[in-house]
Amino acid sequence: MKQIIYLAALVIIIYGCNTQEGKVPPGNEVILGIFGGMGPEATADLYRQILEVTSAEKDQEHIPTLIFSNPVVPDRMESIADGGNLIKPYLRFSVRKLESAGASFIAIPCNTVHYFYDYMQAAVNIPIIHMIRETANEVAGNYPGIKKVGLLATTGTIESGLYNKELEANGFEVLTPVDSIEINLVMKAVYGIKSKTDPQLNEDLLAMAGQHLADLGAEVIVLGCTEIPLAYNPDRVNLPVVNATRVLAERAVEIYREMKDGDE
């Protein structure tokens, strides 16, 4: 008898859920999806930046957001080296998880993983913001008179040529740290940020790397790794900075408004 009651209750629940399909509550017509976890601190920073960028006086004026933090995604630099064989199933699963959960578009706070942007975009039917392209456009829009852009990023991002492609298309020369600086300063700081070890040392390392780019002739510095803004102090290097995480946050808010206005 109890089994019959439980079965009847289950049928009622399923029927009730099915009858509600397609009925989206007002205000939830457009939802931002964030594919994060690469790393978790950078994901939290993006969401904080989105909150800062959003013009809201009450909770209901903020952006409905789904965050899927998937920190088990394999190392992005190693994945580029192996052609993506190991990482691709994680990327496909993650973006599809957000789409199936109801996301209208996706932001990914990890520069290096944009090496696989085309693969991820092909896996879903909703747009994914191209973080690196948007950052290059931001540099072009705000600094049209400069010629040399310094790039602080992971070795994988630099070697992939992702920023070079987008920035050079806008007429800029891209300056990157020499190998010894990249390994001993930038990457050491990135992994230090991820492991939450010695914040002051991480800041010092990135300040030296930033000054190195200034000495090479950079006129603006792009922070092209989502960990780097967590420790980079712009007051220690006399150059303007373009923070890719901030650019992604601003573009996410813009796209949300555009989609929302289009649905009204």
- 37 and 104 both lie in a single domain: yes
Beta bridge partner(s), residue 149: 174, 220
- 146 and 100 both lie in a single domain: no
110 catalytic? Reply is: yes
Give 85-112 pLDDT, tens digit per residue: 999 999 999 999 999 999 999 999 999 9
- Indicate the pLDDT class of residue 33, thresholds 50, 70 and 90: very high
The per-residue pLDDT for 166 is: 97
The per-residue pLDDT for 20 is: 53
- Indicate the pLDDT class of residue 25, thresholds 50, 70 and 90: confident
Under 8 Å CB-to-CB from 121, ≥6 apart: which residues? 127, 128
**Catalytic residue, candidates 32, 110, 139, 218:** 110
In a domain? residue 20: no
In a domain? residue 3: no
The per-residue pLDDT for 27 is: 80
- 126 and 136 both lie in a single domain: no
Instruction: Give the N- to C-terminal CA distance of the chain in Å, as an integer.
Output: 50
In a domain? residue 189: yes
In a domain? residue 181: yes
Separation between Cα atoms, residue 185 and residue 200, nearest integer Å? 13
Answer whether 126's CB lies under 8 Å from 151's CB: no
CATH code where residue 46 lies: 3.40.50.1860
225 catalytic? Reply is: yes
**Catalytic residue, candidates 225, 241, 248, 252:** 225
- 256 and 125 both lie in a single domain: yes
Separation between Cα atoms, residue 35 and residue 42, nearest integer Å? 11
The domain tally of the chain equals 2
Place of tokens 């492991």: 195
- 32 and 103 both lie in a single domain: yes
- 106 and 148 both lie in a single domain: no
Give 208-244 pLDDT, tens digit per residue: 999 999 999 999 999 999 999 999 999 999 999 999 9
In a domain? residue 9: no
Q: Point out the least confidently predicted range of 10-19, 99-108, 136-145, 249-258.
A: 10-19
In a domain? residue 33: yes
Range of the domain at 160: 132-244
Give 139-181 pLDDT, tens digit per residue: 999 999 999 999 999 999 999 999 999 999 999 999 999 999 9
